[in-house]
Amino acid sequence: MTGHTSVDDGGIVSRDRVCDTVQAILRTAQATGYPDERLSQLSGVPARTIKSYRCEGKQPNLGAALSISAVLGSWAVNQVLALIGYQGSPLDDADKLQPSAIVAGLACDLSVIATAAADGRFDHTEMPGVTDAADHIIATVLPLSRAGRHGG
């Protein structure tokens, strides 16, 4: 009997989606005043490890991703939880919204789409990144929309 099964045991979330999401969160964090050292102090995740997630695209474990996201706030937690189709906490309180973080995250995702679209088409190598960027955009703006505030 072999160890192979006919069922895909890769999970519901791809490694690339996790890495891209955490990279985008960390780039946004850095752009809004959270250097790796500060995130390390607040989250307990070593700064060198945070840098490897942000720069090298290494895959974080769930504990590290949530520890970092919890420091940054609901917007980051929601992006991690959006990987599995959940919205963590509603962003109802205007004081909790971080418009600069939202704009920075959207700019990163729009940059991915714009770069892929530069030649006038999305080819098979670009589509996974474009799809992930679109998913991040939706996860970011949905809580701000009427549909997100009223559950659909």
Count of domains in the chain? 1
- For residue 7, tell me if it sits in a domain: no
pLDDT at 135: 82
| Residues 6+ away with beta carbon under 8 Å from 69 | 25, 76, 77, 79, 80
Q: Tens digit of pLDDT for each residue in 82-102?
A: 888 776 555 555 445 677 777
pLDDT at 51: 93
- For residue 134, tell me if it sits in a domain: yes
Picking from 135, 138, 133, the residue whose alpha carbon sits closest to that of residue 117 is 133
- For residue 79, tell me if it sits in a domain: yes
pLDDT at 69: 92
- For residue 9, tell me if it sits in a domain: no
Determine the structural domain holding residue 137 and report its residue range. 15-149
Q: Maximum Cα–Cα distance for the chain, whole Å?
A: 58
CB–CB of 122/116 below 8 Å? yes
Print pLDDT tens along the chain (152 aa).
Answer: 444 444 445 566 788 888 888 998 998 888 888 889 999 999 999 999 999 998 888 999 989 999 999 998 888 888 888 888 776 555 555 445 677 777 877 888 898 899 999 999 988 888 888 888 888 888 777 777 776 554 44
- For residue 5, tell me if it sits in a domain: no
- For residue 3, tell me if it sits in a domain: no
pLDDT at 97: 62
- For residue 8, tell me if it sits in a domain: no
Which residues in the chain belong to E strands, given as ranges?
none
Phi, psi torsion values for 59, nearest 5 degrees: -85, 125
- For residue 133, tell me if it sits in a domain: yes
Phi, psi torsion values for 99, nearest 5 degrees: -55, -40
pTM of the model: 0.55
Which residues in 69-141 belong to E strands, given as ranges?
none
pLDDT at 91: 52
Token pair recorded at residue 134: 């679109």
pLDDT at 1: 41
